[in-house]
Structure 1
Amino acid sequence: MTGPLVVIGDVLLDVDIVGSSSRLCPDAPVPVVEQAEERPRPGGAGMAALLAAAEGRDVVLVTALADDDPGRRLRAMLERHVDVAAFHLHGGTPCKLRIRSGGQSVARLDAGEGQAMDGPVGPRVAEAISGAGAVLVSDYGRGVTRHRAVRSLLADLPPGVPVVWDPHPRGEPPVPGVVRLLTPNEEEAARLAAADGADIAGFGLSAAGRRGRHLGRSWGIEGVAVTLGSEGALLCDGSEAPFLAPAEPARGDSCGAGDSFAAGAVQALADGGPLTAAVTEGVRRASEFVRAGAAAGVAAQLAETGSARLVPERGEDAWDVVERTRRAGGTVVATGGCFDLLHAGHVSMLQQARRLGDCLVVCVNSDASVRRRKGPSRPVTPAADRVRVLEALSDVDAAVVFDDDTPAPLLERLRPDVWVKGSDYAGTTLPEAETVRAHGGEVVLLPMLEGRSTTRLLSTTKGHAS
């Protein structure tokens, strides 16, 4: 990409009023929000531009702004991070105000019905669009994408400039012949397809795929990525089967996730990636965005550091799990082993162990530790993969790797209330038992499923191979 990333679209001022609420108003059954704090942020195309700039890109935002207080606040926030090329917005700047308490919206107030009307856009806008290395159109139905001059400039872009169009049901159809990727969400895809005359009933992947294929054919677009929230995004690109980019689990406010997806996708295309890579990157960015606090997190970052850069919070590790469980007065259960090839015997023991308390931490032998115990041909599965498989089980709250010959040094730190081993250890001395009991814990043995072991699985496999 030789030129800057140009984001074109409607900008809104989003404001969260965040406080706490513990009582109702005496004259109406509505919550009283106290200790309220105002957290403003750019919305719409402004959010998409900020997110792209936070990744280190040179970004130019082409939009329409009114000369009113919300417009001036928006310009001040944006110009610290992106180059703003704006023409006149007729009417008041659109504002959305959310009153929030306890992580939930209590009320939303919308004001400002400004529209971008046809007229001169000025040389700065023309220069920005014609010199773009990549373009993201972020349509929020306020007229920027309807503007004749803007559409004419988009139509004149060189063929090699990737254009991603993030549509809106009240917005405009994409400029013909220039868009490489369309990024509607499920609801937008349904409404756009219906408005285009397609009677496509149903929901889920099948309906999303049919709507995506219809929009791609009807509008002459190479790829249509229908975003599916927590399920990821479905890319329809003319192939026999669509490509699904699954999302990593992410809980939280999803406001602005679509902007994050589109910003990630256009940057991947700008770097020369194919559509599949663009959609995968978009899903990854959107998942991280939600985990990091979404649009509200951007507002907090702007207020605290002046930066829109969001870093997702790391997931809970074993120490977080133990601390949280102990704070709540719960029982910490731990178990350990190699777990080289996870089998039904492992799963049965883990299920039983989890029932003994309020969390289960699995202590996993490192690769070197397994080799010392089992020989040079083991482990079959590296430690990182063994941990990933274990943590995918619903009964396992966390897994942690140890490199010692016994888990005793690790248990000195974890101090579990219950240490679990399989009944195959009956009659043997467990070197870690003394450590567990020294901190008030107990060691218990749980029944194992007969005939299930990694060694037996591997010997059976070798026998079949020979």
Structure 2
Amino acid sequence: MTETDLAATLERLGGAKVLCVGDLMLDRFVEGKVERISPEAPIPVLSVQRERPALGGAANVARNVSALGAHCTLVGAVGADSAAAELAAMLADLPGVTDGSVTAQDRPTAVKTRYIAGRAQLLRTDREKTGPFPPETAAALREAALAALPGAGALILSDYGKGVLSDALVADLIAAANQAGCPVIVDPKGRDFSRYRGADLVTPNRAELSLASGMPAEGDDAVLAACRHLAESCGLAGILATRSEEGMTLYRRAADGTDSAVHLGARAREVFDVAGAGDTVVAALAAGLAAGLDPRSAAALANRAAGIVVAKTGTAVAYPGEILNDSHEERLEAGESKVLTQAEAIDRVAAWRRSGKSVGFTNGCFDLLHPGHVSLIAQARAACDRLVVGLNSDASVGRLKGPDRPVQPESARAAVLAALGHVDLVVIFGEDTPLSLITALEPDVLIKGADYTKDKVVGADVVERLGGKVVLADLVDGHSTTRTIAKLNRG
């Protein structure tokens, strides 16, 4: 997905409507310092400096949906207590979130309290009651969820095993969503995934995948085998397996039994906290599907969003601006890896050829990149599978264009070229012509502008002698770096 496509996708999320049904929780963080051991027992004494609440469970999923700019109706259960009021107030502050929670008289609002010293968690306490709800509460949950389903572009079942998502409610919601053509995404719990039969995508992490399938989940082949087994045995249309630093695997199984899989790599980054990353995944996945993305594009969006939140501390969210910036940074990093020496380029080109790819070559000074350059590069890339751009060094440009050139140093010119999607490799050469570089790389296609004739194209004889071809690209009239610089000087 290009940055332009990604920006358009993120804008589309504003019209997406998601229904999230699951276990609601309130997280509390009690933070401070430990400077001594208690005289009463061999335990640390936490000197409390601050306390802060946060949305947890399905409420954190709604928070993530809201952060992406989409709309979310949230259905779950809370107690008749102050924690419920606190949770409701926090949800009311989230743009686009509708709180459809039901009050349960037989249990408190689930509260998880973490005691933290620096970055070390000392203790967690849970205040909750789990298990089946009384019939009247279960009926109220079912009524609220089914009433909110019409108009939803995706349904999330956020299962933390606390009791909201009973087998009966899960079956009813999946059946109703399937009938309405609404995709169902499940953040699962436990080892029995057959209770999610009919779901479109289930999102286990590596440990959950191994537990539910009874199979190993290390490496692409093992993960794929586990996904295939679960989908076939549990009646699931797809699985998005999250694999930490190894990214994600999207497995899909069609009604006729045919299947497909794609592995989505994770961008290398320092991981600070994985808490809540699963909530981010299902939120972004559902928001993407609700906005009309295909499953692979929605999974790619979820993969990028999850990568952002694990680089933060605590249960965090990913905002559209952060996702777009992350894509831009990744492209810049990828661009840097495209600029190679001639020796490195020879190895890269050989690898492409081994995989059956045709290699094209074009060259130039590319001092001030203009539409004529962009058109040439686009036409060059259309003539081959992989495009290498030879770039004149600063010394070479100075000899060819005069002592006042180049305007941009070779490092800047190389970085700009490498950032273009049509460019696969940039090699800086110091000679006045790229003949030695062309001879070393032996491209299948040599591309120059139509202001040249074939007999004037440097290296044409080398390429044709090896069975390659020369392509003369159409020019865009009215664009010239030399004329542009002359205009600037006159100004």
Q: 2:26 maps to what in 1?
A: 13
Structure 1 residue 54 and structure 2 residue 75: aligned? Answer: no
Structure 1 residue 66 and structure 2 residue 79: aligned? Answer: yes
Q: Please, which runs of 5 or more residues in structure 2 have no aligned partner?
A: 1-12, 330-335, 346-364, 371-375, 382-387, 390-405, 413-428, 443-458, 466-491
Residue identity in the other structure for 1:53: S
**2:115–2:121 CA contact under 8 A, matched in 1:** yes
- Distance of 1:338 and 1:4 partners within structure 2: 39
Structure 1 residue 95 and structure 2 residue 111: aligned? Answer: yes
Structure 1 residue 256 and structure 2 residue 280: aligned? Answer: no
The alpha-carbon deviation at position 36 of structure 1 amounts to: 2.1
Alignment CA distance shift 1:312-1:291 (3 Å): farther
The alpha-carbon deviation at position 25 of structure 1 amounts to: 2.0
SS at match of 1:203: coil
**2:18–2:73 CA contact under 8 A, matched in 1:** yes
Alignment CA distance shift 1:136-1:459 (3 Å): same
- Distance of 1:7 and 1:85 partners within structure 2: 10
Higher helix proportion:
2
Q: 1:342 maps to what in 2?
A: 341
Alignment CA distance shift 1:67-1:180 (3 Å): same
- Distance of 1:44 and 1:221 partners within structure 2: 23
Equivalent in 181, 187, 199 of residue 166 of structure 1: 187
Q: 2:222 maps to what in 1?
A: 207
**1:268–1:281 CA contact under 8 A, matched in 2:** yes
- Distance of 2:130 and 2:439 partners within structure 1: 73
What is the aligned-residue RMSD (CA, Å)?
4.3
TM-score when normalising by structure 1? 0.64
**1:130–1:153 CA contact under 8 A, matched in 2:** no
Q: 1:245 maps to what in 2?
A: 264
Structure 1 residue 24 and structure 2 residue 36: aligned? Answer: yes
**1:49–1:59 CA contact under 8 A, matched in 2:** yes
SS at match of 1:280: helix
**2:22–2:164 CA contact under 8 A, matched in 1:** yes
Alignment CA distance shift 1:214-1:16 (3 Å): same
- Distance of 1:207 and 1:408 partners within structure 2: 43
Equivalent in 148, 172, 183 of residue 128 of structure 1: 148
SS at match of 2:108: coil
Equivalent residues in 2 for 1:363-382, closer than 5 Å? 367-368=366-367
Q: Deviations over 1:353-382 (max 9, x none)?
A: xxxxxxxxxxxxx942799xxxxx99x99x
Structure 1 residue 216 and structure 2 residue 231: aligned? Answer: yes
Equivalent in 425, 431, 437 of residue 457 of structure 1: 437
Structure 1 residue 144 and structure 2 residue 124: aligned? Answer: no
The alpha-carbon deviation at position 147 of structure 1 amounts to: 6.1
Q: Deviations over 1:150-190 (max 9, x none)?
A: 6424422334111111101178744433x111111111112
- Distance of 1:245 and 1:408 partners within structure 2: 31
- Distance of 1:172 and 1:70 partners within structure 2: 31
The alpha-carbon deviation at position 133 of structure 1 amounts to: 2.7
Structure 1 residue 185 and structure 2 residue 205: aligned? Answer: yes
Equivalent in 11, 32, 45 of residue 58 of structure 2: 45
Alignment CA distance shift 1:11-1:172 (3 Å): farther
SS at match of 1:132: coil
The alpha-carbon deviation at position 92 of structure 1 amounts to: 2.3
Equivalent residues in 2 for 1:251-330, closer than 5 Å? 251-295=271-315, 297=316, 311=322
TM-score when normalising by structure 2? 0.61
Residue identity in the other structure for 2:108: G
The alpha-carbon deviation at position 98 of structure 1 amounts to: 1.8
The alpha-carbon deviation at position 20 of structure 1 amounts to: 4.0
Q: Deviations over 1:401-429 (max 9, x none)?
A: xx8455999xxxxxxxxxxxxxx99xxxx
**1:60–1:84 CA contact under 8 A, matched in 2:** yes
- Distance of 1:166 and 1:55 partners within structure 2: 18
SS at match of 2:286: helix
User: Structure 1 residues 253-262 or 276-285, which shifts more?
Assistant: 276-285
Equivalent in 248, 257, 271 of residue 233 of structure 1: 248
Alignment CA distance shift 1:53-1:458 (3 Å): same
**1:14–1:41 CA contact under 8 A, matched in 2:** yes
**2:174–2:184 CA contact under 8 A, matched in 1:** no
- Distance of 1:132 and 1:240 partners within structure 2: 27
Give the number of aligned pairs. Answer: 353
Alignment CA distance shift 1:145-1:404 (3 Å): same
SS at match of 2:222: helix
Equivalent in 82, 95, 108 of residue 124 of structure 2: 108
> Percent identity between the aligned chains?
26
The alpha-carbon deviation at position 276 of structure 1 amounts to: 1.5
**2:284–2:302 CA contact under 8 A, matched in 1:** yes
